[in-house]
């Protein structure tokens, strides 16, 4: 990834400081809730009592990761102004939440849900549907976690000028992450997210300030440069780019909102009022996060013209090197930015890991392996399987299995297939379990198959969206052909009643 | 229609109001430059191509609209919860 000329000893100091703060937060979060080892709800959902600040930042840190800076600036560099779409697709996540979160929140509070599959079990009473959903979510979130682990290693080796080897960096930070999550569960994850989210936000703002300083302070100049040298990046894009834009908005919006850890944040809110306020605030975060990163990428075009695809991936590092050379203030700020990027990746990884553990311990272990297990034992099993999962993922990350590697890219395509069971299931009492099962299966196979065979989009529409459309069609047509029985429909209606008691 | 078990405020759930989604679709479609002539750049507004400015204005409208919806068009169990909370406080 980045070759940072300013990295090295100071980078190590910042990383150690960040790690120490995370551990301290975890320690105090654990002390603040004595039953965190004995109660599933306490460990995985902070007892369903996250307040506004913690909920807001944990939503923020979960939706925005290191890739939001490291990956999106180069995309803006290569795409030009059409990458404005990154503001829109991050905003639309809130629109997708509005489709189902109001009702899901009420039901989850009443029924004390812990994992996303709890809703599916409660609504469909079908082991096949629930297990398939759990497997899709585990597979998807496992790969998502793998991506974050690789990024942590790259971030750390970049920031420390390779003085800390990639493998060692990952292991050290994973140990820190596991330690604070073990001590304080979801509350520790959410409180460290506050620190990590602020670090990312401040870093992005300083990166933008430094980039503007480098080009003499005017975005207009960057635009003029673009129009003269690479006009296609400034012109109204062709129609297929627009179709792709809309497809991405829908896919990211619904996908990010139904990620298991995103759903568990609905469960963890202390009240509807808190959840509403946090989401209302989140709606304003894309312009000041992906929006600013977009501007950095556009400025990058005039700072470092004509980079190839792989060179452009280094863009944030290149800009940071130039900015750090301005003066000591910017130097310190760039160190903090990259520390913040690492922290942001960790904050996304910890949410994914906690969600992964909760599904293993609740949906597989307590449900199918040892139904008599105490809650304390369930928490312990979740923790231990979390370690096993991380170990397996690290082995994969360091020894990528050649030809099979593409099955480890399937994340989003699989997870988004559970969306109909949540969204249609909440509002349409006629939706019955078998169509949901086959819809999920076919949708996952089509979307996954397209990804495996390298067919990214058809006429600008993403494979995930095509799979989801098929999935929806099977759910709807299947439920119309073989409707739910009267009892099933009545039960479905009861299962989604709007009351918390 | 679901009614509140007890309470005087009507339940507000965004999914039940079609106009909410129609407005959202209009904003989404207006923010994507599919309806503008391909390959055009000028005029430049605030340092960006005119279409990017239009797109940005609608993107920000989407932020404002969604934020407003969360606060004012979503009221399902808040009253019930806040009352329970007030009762719990009184008992203390």
User: Buried b / exposed e across B25-54, counting CB within 10 Å, b at 16+?
Assistant: eebbebbbbbebeeeebeebeebbbbbbbb
**Closest Cβ opposite residue B52 in set A81, A94, A102:** A81
| A271/B78 touch (CB, cutoff 8 Å), yes or no | yes
| Nearest CB to B2 within list A277, A281, A498 | A498
In the stretch 19-38 of chain B, residues with CB closer than 8 A to chain A read 20, 24, 28-29, 31-34, 36-38
How many CA atoms within 13 Å lie on the side-chain side of A365?
A: 23
Tally of CA atoms within 13 A in the half-sphere of A426 that contains its CB: 22
pLDDT at residue B63 above 90? yes
Give the pTM.
0.90
Structure confidence at residue A401 (pLDDT): 62
Phi first, then psi: what are they for A461, rounded to 5°?
Answer: -95, 130
Question: Which residues in chain B are contacts of A234 at CB distance < 8 A?
Answer: 41, 49, 52
Closest CA of chain A from B76, distance in Å: 7
Q: What is the CA radius of gyration of chain A?
A: 23
The whole-angstrom separation of Cα A269 and Cα A262 is 11
pLDDT tens track for A137-160: 998 898 888 888 888 877 777 677
User: Does the beta-carbon distance from A245 to B2 stay under 8 Å?
Assistant: no
Per the DSSP assignment, residues forming a β-bridge with A50 are: A269
Q: Is the pLDDT of residue A463 over 50?
A: yes
Task: Select the residue from B21, B43, B52, B61 to test the A interface by mutation, using most A Cβ atoms within 10 A.
Answer: B52
Closest CA–CA distance from residue B58 to any residue of chain A (Å): 9
Using an 8 Å Cβ cutoff, are A197 and A282 in contact? no
Measured between CB atoms, which of A87, A94, A272 is closest to B78? A272
Query: What is the overall mean pLDDT for chain A?
Result: 87
Residue A105 exposed, middle or buried by CB count within 10 Å (0-12, 13-18, 19+): buried
Q: Is residue A130 within a helix (H) or strand (E), and if so which, with residue range?
A: helix A127-159
Query: In sequence order, what are the residues at sequence separation of 6 or more whose Cβ sits closer than 8 angstroms to the Cβ of residue B75?
Result: A272, B9, B10, B11, B12
CB–CB contact A499 B59 (8 Å): no
Query: pLDDT tens-digit profile of A228-242?
Result: 888 888 889 998 889
Mutation for testing the B interface, residue in A91, A217, A301 having most B CBs under 10 Å: A91
Burial of A296 (0-12, 13-18, 19+ CB in 10 A): buried
Helix spans in A160-218 (H) = 166-214
Would the CB atoms of A498 and B13 count as touching at under 8 Å? Answer: yes
The pLDDT assigned to A77 comes to: 92
The pLDDT of residue A404 is 56
The answer to whether A453 and A420 have CB atoms below 8 angstroms apart is no
Nearest CA in chain B to A80: B52
User: Any chain A CB within 8 A of the CB of B10?
Assistant: no
pLDDT at A403 over 70: no
CA dist., res. A498 & res. B1, Å (int) = 10
Judge contact between A452 and A467, C-beta under 8 A: no
The rounded distance, in Å, linking the Cα atoms of A113 and A146 is 27
Give me the phi and psi of A434, to 5 degrees please: -65, -45
Q: What's the mean pLDDT when you consider all of chain B?
A: 87
Between A7 and B59, where is the model more confident? B59
Residue of A nearest to B6 (CA): A499
B79 touches A: beta carbon within 8 Å: no
Distance CA(A197)–CA(A446), nearest Å, equals 36
Give yes or no for a contact between B78 and A269, defined as CB atoms under 8 angstroms apart.
Answer: no
A99's tokens: 């489709």
Q: Which residues of B touch A286 (CB under 8 A)?
A: 59, 63
Most B CBs within 10 A among A82, A98, A107, A208, hence the mutation to make, goes to A98
Q: How far is Cα A271 from Cα A33, in angstroms, rounded to an integer? A: 19
Query: Is B60's Cβ below 8 Å from some Cβ in A?
Result: yes
Percent share of chain A, pLDDT over 70: 95
Search chain A and give the residue with CA nearest B47: A220
**Is residue A7 predicted with pLDDT exceeding 70?**
no
* Those residues with Cβ within 8 angstroms of residue A126's Cβ, 6 or more apart along the chain or in another chain: A433, A434, A436, A437
In chain B, which residues have their Cβ closer than 8 Å to the Cβ of A237?
Answer: 33, 38
Considering only residues A219 and A132, tell me which one the structure prediction assigns the higher pLDDT: A132
Mean pLDDT of B62-76: 95
SS3 A486: helix
Distant-in-sequence, close-in-space partners of B26: CB < 8 Å, separation ≥ 6: none
Nearest CB to A102; choose among B39, B63, B74: B74
Is B54 at the interface with chain A, CB within 8 A?
Answer: no
The more confident residue out of A497 and A367 is A367
A386: exposed, middle or buried (Cβ count in 10 Å: 0-12, 13-18, 19+): buried
Residue of B nearest to A285 (CA): B63
Q: Are A41 and A49 a contacting pair, CB within 8 Å?
A: no
Sign of CA dihedral A153, A157, A160, A162: positive
Q: What share of chain A is helix, strand, coil (3-state, %, to 5)?
A: 80, 0, 20
CB contact under 8 A, B76 and A105: yes
pLDDT recorded at residue A100: 93
Which DSSP string do the residues of A258-319 spell out, in sequence order?
A: HSHHHHHHHHHBS-HHHHHHHHHHHTTHHHHTHHHHHHHHHHHHHHSTT--HHHHTTHHHHH
Interface test with A, best of B66, B69, B79 (most A CBs within 10 A): B66
Instruction: Note the Cα A482 to chain centre separation in Å.
Output: 36
Region A110-137: mean pLDDT is: 92
CA A135/CA A188 separation, integer angstroms = 27
A287 and B63: CB-CB below 8 Å?
A: yes
Smallest Cβ–Cβ distance between A98 and the set B11, B14, B64 belongs to B14
Distance CA A311, CA A74 (A): 9
For residue A94, the distance in angstroms to the closest alpha carbon of chain B comes to 7
Assign residue A346 a region: left if phi > 0, alpha if psi is -120 to 50, beta otherwise?
A: alpha
Asked if pLDDT for residue A457 goes beyond 90, the answer is no
Are residues A246 and B28, on separate chains, in Cβ contact within 8 Å? Answer: yes
Both tokens of residue B5?
Answer: 């078990």
Cα–Cα distances in Å, from A268 out to A32, A34, A112, A186, A402? Answer: 16, 18, 10, 9, 40
Q: Kindly state the DSSP code that residue A50 receives in the 8-state scheme.
A: B
Kindly indicate the confidence band of residue A315, based on its pLDDT and cuts at 50, 70 and 90: confident
Contact A236 B66 (CB under 8 A): no
Query: At which residue do the structure tokens 């759930």 appear?
Result: B13
Indicate if the pLDDT at residue B8 is higher than 70.
no
CA distances from A386 to A165, A393, A479 (A): 24, 11, 37
Q: Which residues of B touch A95 (CB under 8 A)?
A: 24, 62, 66
CA dist A7 and A158 (Å) reads 7
Q: What is the pLDDT of residues B43-53, one digit of tens each?
A: 888 888 999 99
Is B55's pLDDT higher than 80? yes
- Cβ-nearest to A219 among B48, B67, B81: B48
pLDDT for the residue numbered B37: 85
Distance CA(A142)–CA(A389), nearest Å, equals 8
Task: State whether B41 and A236 contact (CB < 8 Å).
Answer: yes
Closest chain A residue by Cα to residue B63: A283
């Amino acid at each position: 990834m980045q070759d940072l000329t300013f990295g090295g000893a100071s980078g190590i100091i910042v990383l150690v400081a960040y790690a120490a703060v995370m551990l301290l937060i975890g320690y105090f979060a654990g002390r603040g809730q004595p039953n965190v080892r004995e109660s599933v709800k306490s460990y995985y959902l902070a007892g369903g009592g996250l307040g506004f600040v913690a909920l807001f930042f944990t939503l923020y840190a979960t939706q925005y990761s290191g890739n939001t800076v490291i990956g999106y600036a180069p995309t803006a560099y290569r795409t030009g102004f059409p990458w404005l779409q990154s503001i829109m697709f991050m905003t639309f996540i809130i629109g997708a939440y509005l489709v189902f979160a109001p009702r899901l929140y009420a039901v989850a509070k009443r029924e004390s849900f812990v994992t996303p599959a709890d809703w599916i079990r409660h609504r469909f009473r079908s082991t096949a549907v629930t297990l398939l959903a759990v497997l899709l979510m585990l597979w998807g979130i496992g790969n998502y976690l793998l991506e974050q682990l690789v990024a942590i290693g790259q971030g750390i080796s970049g920031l420390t000028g390779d003085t800390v080897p990639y493998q060692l960096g990952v292991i050290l930070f994973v140990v820190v992450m596991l330690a604070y999550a073990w001590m304080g569960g979801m509350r520790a994850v959410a409180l460290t997210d506050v620190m990590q989210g602020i670090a990312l936000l401040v870093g992005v703002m300083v990166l933008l300030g430094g980039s503007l300083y480098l080009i003499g302070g005017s975005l207009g100049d960057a635009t003029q440069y673009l129009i003269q040298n690479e006009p296609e990046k400034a012109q109204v894009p062709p129609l297929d780019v627009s179709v792709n834009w809309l497809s991405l908005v829908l896919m990211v919006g619904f996908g990010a909102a139904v990620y298991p850890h995103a759903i568990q944040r609905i469960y963890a809110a202390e009240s509807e009022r808190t959840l509403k306020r946090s989401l209302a605030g989140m709606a304003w975060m894309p312009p000041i996060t992906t929006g600013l990163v977009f501007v950095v990428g556009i400025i990058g075009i005039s700072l470092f013209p004509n980079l190839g695809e792989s060179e452009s991936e280094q863009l944030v590092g290149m800009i940071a090197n130039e900015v750090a050379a301005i003066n000591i203030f910017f130097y310190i700020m760039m160190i903090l930015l990259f520390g913040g990027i690492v922290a942001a990746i960790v904050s996304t990884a910890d949410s994914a890991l906690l969600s992964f553990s909760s599904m293993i311990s609740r949906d597989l272990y307590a449900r199918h392996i040892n139904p008599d297990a105490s809650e304390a034992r369930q928490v312990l099993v979740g923790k231990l399987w979390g370690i096993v999962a991380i170990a397996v993922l690290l082995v994969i990350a360091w020894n990528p299995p050649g030809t099979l590697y593409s099955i480890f890219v399937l994340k989003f395509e699989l997870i988004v297939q559970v969306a109909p069971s949540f969204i249609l299931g909440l509002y349409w009492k006629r939706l019955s379990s078998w169509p949901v099962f086959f819809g999920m299966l076919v949708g996952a196979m089509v979307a996954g198959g397209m990804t495996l065979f390298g067919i990214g989009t058809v006429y600008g529409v993403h494979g995930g969206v095509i799979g989801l459309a098929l999935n929806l069609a099977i759910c709807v047509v299947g439920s119309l052909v073989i409707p739910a029985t009267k009892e099933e429909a009545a039960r479905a209606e009861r299962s989604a009643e709007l009351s918390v008691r | 229609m679901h009614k509140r078990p007890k309470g005087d405020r009507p339940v507000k759930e965004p999914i039940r109001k079609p106009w909410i989604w129609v407005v959202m679709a209009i904003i989404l479609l207006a923010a994507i430059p599919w309806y503008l002539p391909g390959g055009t750049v000028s005029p430049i507004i605030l340092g960006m191509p005119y279409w990017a400015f239009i797109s940005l204005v609608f993107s920000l409208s989407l932020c404002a609209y969604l934020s407003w919806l969360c606060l004012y068009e979503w009221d399902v169990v808040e009253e019930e919860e806040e009352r329970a909370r007030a009762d719990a406080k009184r008992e203390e």
